[in-house]
DNA sequence: GCAAGCGATGGCAGCGCTACCATGCGGCAC
DNA sequence: GTGCCGCATGGTAGCGCTGCCATCGCTTGC
């Protein structure tokens, strides 16, 4: 039984007339084509592209010429397969809506600029199970490094990241036991310090306003409560969230997005609704500490609407220092967080680690700043 | 970092005594391991994972069991190499800061959810040359599809995308000659319609305010001028940008980011500065049409500060309908753009095309809505 | 009863690159 | 001269997967 399709006799000359291109290749030049044209070995081309200093000047210039002439584009999938290492950095953020994460992202992109690193981003929607799934997905690409938000990964997520052989940076929060490295700040300290500022300004009946509470928001709330307790104001420390004001219906209406709207529900409109609720049920409240700036802006508008004077009748504080806070009338106090810096530091760390440098600090507290403005100047 | 990932995971009885690991493999189970354990061929495992309906129930369940038992994770780089097709969709946005693009991005991610598509995002900073470079980079991954912003790619970019063998969607604008498909709306029509609304409300001396003018902003400005001309108000049609008010110094200060700050300079503070400039140099202006909502918010705050009544003394209109516009006091008129929908439609189109469906419309105008609110209710 | 058809399965040969050696060569110590 | 080191370069053998057929057993049509 001779079922060899290729008879060995003289079929070296491939006829142009038979089957149209049996090859699985898409016809683009490969590293072998470049090597042939430059009259060198393929591996030398590979080296010339990745570590030019390993190749003599003569060959290097020949290779460069061939690359340009053929318009050669390296196939990163082949490279990643052969070296079991890609140049993709996986980034997991809880939300793509909040300006907070947009700024982080900008820092990451700016820091990754001009390198061969590619960012692959995923939205885990404040959902640890989803995060687990996304980590699994990411690891299939054999990424060069990973950036994840927060410190509350599931046990399985954590195990996967620990086994992952590359730098892992957790961002936006702090922990003394990071998977690998962590860059962020203490939300509890931030909440405590802003509350202390409000108390120092003479406010006594302070309400904490939030949309939905992420783990990090809970940290701020803890800080708020501790500061109030430390000043013997426990009785006045009350937190209000959208759950208190029966906004579920309104939330459902929003749903242009398939996202559970609750997660994204921290808008100025929410701020107005929450503040109306407070005026009705707790008229003696003299300051509101909003879990984010959008809520604070809404509170300001509601005060304008009702003719309530800020900061005389009500103090308003936000969180994050988005750019409208300083421009508001009156300017709104808030906590400036270093989001851009965190993103930038995260990708920079990964670059350094990939270059073989040893990690500096494992735990990097970038802190935050209390921006005391007119809205809390009693 | 764990350096040696479970070399001796006991159960599989790989002889530990022979050659000191010559393999370049990282020791993770491959499709061959799964095939061996399930007692089938490797290709059958591949099929069971990609097109389960092609494999009999019996084998499929055996394979599923083996996958779980071995904790098999497919190597996407190998898959991409073998099939010369990855599951990555490249997305090019001009900015990661503007909420506009954040919303587009959210639409893209939501629409890509639950599929095997991975999004790879790049920030081209309103720079066509940078865009060209990024397209080159992206194509090295042999992406499944591409989404690019706007319609002003360089000739080379355009050629690369035309030669690219996969769906390409241009978004956020319209053209009658798309590379492949385009989903967006006419900025000129939007600018014209909002201007017509202002004129209809009785405003006559209308100023157009902008930070930096992207090609799309220019379209809005053209619409503004046409509408003014059509109403014989040419003489009153004047546009102000940051260049008019010597804000370069302020802009330089901003520079936390390596980005040329001009590109990102559309903040409420800019709105305040521009409006002060207008009050000084053109006190008769009775309405401002802001190229984006952040500027409009700034104008509102400046009016509050100066005691100027809105909408009686000054009408204010923005562009995009970010969530603070409806919540402002008074509520601010604006143009609602369907950013989320555009992103969602873009990725959905790509999914459909990858599933072999033929493109529906090549040019998809999602339109926009004039949101007439109190701030222009004369 | 037999050819043809069909669905399920598997073998083989790449995809384009890089890790791992081997090779060759000039220079230096002895 | 001999041996050895270091450097530039190349050959070979994969990396883990999938495209392309071949195969096999069973059904269908006449």
Q: What is the pLDDT of residue A256?
A: 39
Task: Give the separation between CA A48 and CA A26, rounded to whole angstroms.
Answer: 24
Which DSSP string corresponds to B153-216?
A: --HHHHHHHHHSSS-EEEESS--SS-SSEEEE--HHHHHHHHHHHHHHTT--SEEEEESS--HH
Task: Kindly give, in sequence order, each residue whose CB lies less than 8 Å from that of residue A243, ignoring residues fewer than 6 positions away.
Answer: none
Min distance A327 CA to chain B CA atoms (Å): 5
B114 touching A (Cβ < 8 Å): no
User: CB within 8 A of B343, min separation 6: which ones?
Assistant: B103, B104, B105, B106, B107, B108, B109, B110, B111, B171
Q: Which long-range contacts (CB under 8 A, 24 or more apart) does A161-169 make?
A: A161/A135, A162/B2, A163/B2, A163/B5, A164/A139, A165/B1, A165/B2, A165/B3, A165/B5, A165/B26, A166/A85, A166/A353, A166/A354, A166/B1, A167/A349, A167/A350, A167/A353, A167/A354, A167/A359, A167/B1, A169/A145, A169/A346, A169/A349, A169/A350
- A324 CB near a chain B CB, below 8 Å? yes
Question: Which strands sit side by side in the sheet containing B315-317, from one edge to the other?
Answer: B238-241, B206-210, B287-290, B315-317
What φ, ψ does residue A301 adopt, rounded to 5°? Answer: -65, -40
Cα–Cα distance for residue pair A267/B23, rounded to 1 Å: 55
CA distance A201 to A194: 11
Residue A88 touches chain B, beta carbons under 8 Å: yes
**Per-residue pLDDT tens digits for A200-243:** 999 999 999 998 788 899 999 999 999 999 999 988 888 888 76
pLDDT of residue A93: 94
pLDDT of residue B208: 95
B148 touches strand C (CB under 7 A): no
Rounded mean pLDDT of A43-56? 91
- The tokens for B346 are 């873009």
**pLDDT tens, A157-181?**
999 999 898 999 999 999 999 999 9
Architecture of domain B10-74: Orthogonal Bundle (1.10)
**Where does chain A show beta strands of DSSP type E?**
88-93, 118-123, 145-149, 168-171, 181-184, 206-210, 238-241, 287-290, 315-317, 334-337, 363-365, 368-371
pLDDT in tens, A291-301: 999 999 999 99
**Quick one: pLDDT at residue B6?**
37
Average pLDDT of span A147-155: 96
Give CA angle at A163 (A158, A164), nearest 5°: 95
- A23-39 mean pLDDT: 87
* CATH-assigned architecture of domain A82-185+340-368: 3-Layer(aba) Sandwich (3.40)
Residue limits of CATH 3.40.50.2300 in chain A: 82-185+340-368, 187-337
Domain with residues B84-185+340-366, CATH architecture: 3-Layer(aba) Sandwich (3.40)
| Residue A263 φ/ψ, nearest 5 degrees | -65, -30
Instruction: Determine the pLDDT at residue B8.
Output: 34
Please check whether strand D approaches the CB of A260 to within 7 Å: no
* Predicted confidence band of residue A16 (pLDDT cuts 50, 70, 90): very low
For helices A42-50 and A57-70, give the axis angle rounded to 10 degrees. 90
Q: Is B136 on the interface with A (CB under 8 A)?
A: yes
Residue A259 has pLDDT above 60, yes or no: no
Q: Which pTM does this prediction carry?
A: 0.87
What whole-number distance in Å separates Cα of residue B296 and Cα of residue B267? 9
Chain A positions touching B327 (Cβ under 8 A) are: 267-269, 271-272, 297-298, 301
A216: tokens are 């990090």
- Give, as one character, the DSSP assignment of residue A91: E
Residue A338: exposed, middle, or buried by beta-carbon count in 10 A (0-12, 13-18, 19+)?
buried
Query: Side-chain half-sphere of B319: how many Cα atoms within 13 Å?
Result: 29
Q: How many CB pairs under 8 A join A and B?
A: 165
Contact between B102 and A106 using a beta-carbon 8 Å cutoff: no
pLDDT tens across the length of chain B (378 residues): 333 333 333 333 333 333 334 567 777 899 999 999 999 999 999 999 998 989 999 999 999 999 999 999 999 999 999 998 899 999 999 988 888 898 999 999 999 988 889 999 999 888 899 999 999 999 999 999 999 999 999 999 999 999 898 999 999 999 999 999 999 999 999 999 999 999 999 999 999 999 878 889 999 999 999 999 999 998 888 888 876 665 554 444 444 333 444 455 688 998 999 999 999 989 999 999 999 999 999 999 999 999 999 999 999 999 999 999 999 999 999 999 999 999 999 999 999 998 877 777 899 999 999 999 999 998
A168-171 and B168-171 strand pairing: unpaired
**pLDDT tier at A96, thresholds 50, 70, 90:** confident
A102-135: pLDDT as tens digits: 899 999 999 998 888 999 999 988 889 999 999 9
Contacts of B73 in chain A (CB under 8 A): 136, 139-140
Confidence of residue A255 (pLDDT cuts 50, 70, 90): very low
Please tell me whether residue A241 adopts helix, strand or coil conformation: strand
Assign domain B187-337 to its CATH superfamily: Response regulator (3.40.50.2300)
Residue B297 near residue A300 (C-beta atoms within 8 A): no
Say if residue A12 is exposed, middle or buried (CB neighbours under 10 Å; 0-12, 13-18, 19+): exposed
What are the Cα distances from residue B214, in Å, to A248, B149, B220, B291, B337? 39, 12, 10, 10, 16
- Which residue minimizes Cα–C1' distance to C21? B22
Domain with CATH 1.10.260.40 in chain B: 10-74
Instruction: List, as one string, the DSSP characters of B127-148.
Output: -HHHHHHHHHHHHTT--SEEEE
Query: How many Cα atoms occupy the beta-carbon half-sphere of A95 within 13 Å?
Result: 20
**In what helix (H) or strand (E) does residue B371 lie, and over which residues does it extend?**
strand B368-371
Q: Give pLDDT, residue B255.
A: 42
Query: Which of A77, A256, A326 is opposite residue B269, by nearest beta carbon?
Result: A326
Structure tokens that stand for A308 in this block: 């309530």
Nearest to B294 by CA among B263, B330, B269, B259: B269
- Strand C footprint nucleotides (protein C-beta < 7 Å): 8-12, 14-21
Q: Which residues of A touch B132 (CB under 8 A)?
A: none
The CATH 3.40.50.2300 domain(s) of chain B lie at 84-185+340-366, 187-337
Q: Hey, what's the torsion of the CAs at A77, A78, A79, A81, to 10 degrees? A: 90
Nearest to A75 by CA among B86, B34, B345, B302: B86
Alpha-carbon torsion, ordered B97, B99, B100, B101, to 10 deg: 50
Name every chain A residue with its beta carbon within 8 A of the beta carbon of B146. none
Distance between CA A335 and CA A52 in Å, rounded? 47
- Between the two ends of chain A, the Cα-to-Cα distance in Å is 98
Q: Which nucleotide is nearest to B82 (CA to C1')?
A: C15
């Amino acid at each position: 039984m001779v079922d060899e399709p290729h008879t060995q006799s003289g079929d070296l000359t491939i006829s142009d007339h038979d089957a149209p291109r049996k090859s699985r290749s898409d016809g683009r030049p490969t590293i072998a084509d470049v090597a042939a044209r430059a009259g060198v070995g393929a591996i030398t081309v590979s080296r010339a592209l990745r570590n030019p200093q390993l190749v003599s000047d003569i060959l290097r210039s020949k290779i460069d010429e061939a690359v340009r002439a053929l318009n050669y584009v390296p196939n990163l999938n082949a490279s990643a397969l052969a070296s079991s290492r890609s140049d993709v950095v996986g980034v997991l953020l809880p939300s793509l809506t909040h300006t907070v994460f947009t700024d982080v992202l900008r820092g990451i992109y700016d820091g990754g600029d001009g390198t061969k690193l590619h960012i692959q981003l995923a939205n885990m929607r404040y959902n640890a199970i989803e995060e687990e799934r996304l980590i699994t997905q990411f690891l299939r690409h054999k990424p060069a490094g990973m950036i994840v938000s927060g410190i509350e990964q599931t046990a399985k997520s954590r195990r996967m990241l620990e086994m992952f052989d590359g730098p892992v940076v957790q961002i936006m929060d702090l922990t003394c036991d990071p998977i690998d490295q962590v860059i962020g700040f203490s939300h509890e300290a931030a909440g405590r310090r802003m509350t202390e500022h409000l108390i120092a300004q003479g406010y006594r009946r302070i309400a904490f306003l939030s949309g939905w509470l992420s783990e990090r928001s809970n940290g701020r709330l803890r800080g708020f409560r501790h500061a109030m307790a430390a000043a013997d104001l426990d009785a006045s420390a009350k937190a209000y969230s959208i759950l208190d004001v029966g906004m579920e219906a309104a939330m459902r209406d929003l749903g242009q997005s398939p996202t559970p709207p609750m997660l994204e529900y921290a808008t100025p409109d929410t701020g107005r609704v929450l503040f109306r609720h407070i005026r009705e049920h707790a008229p003696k409240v003299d300051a509101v500490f909003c879990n984010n700036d959008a809520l604070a802006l809404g509170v300001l508008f509601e005060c304008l609407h009702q003719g309530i004077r800020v900061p005389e009748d009500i103090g308003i504080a936000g969180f994050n220092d988005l750019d409208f806070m300083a421009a508001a009338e009156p300017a709104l106090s808030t906590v400036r967080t270093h989001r851009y810096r965190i993103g930038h530091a995260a990708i920079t760390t990964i670059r350094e680690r990939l270059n073989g440098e040893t990690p500096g600090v494992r735990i990097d507290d970038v802190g935050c700043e209390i921006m005391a403005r007119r809205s809390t100047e009693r």
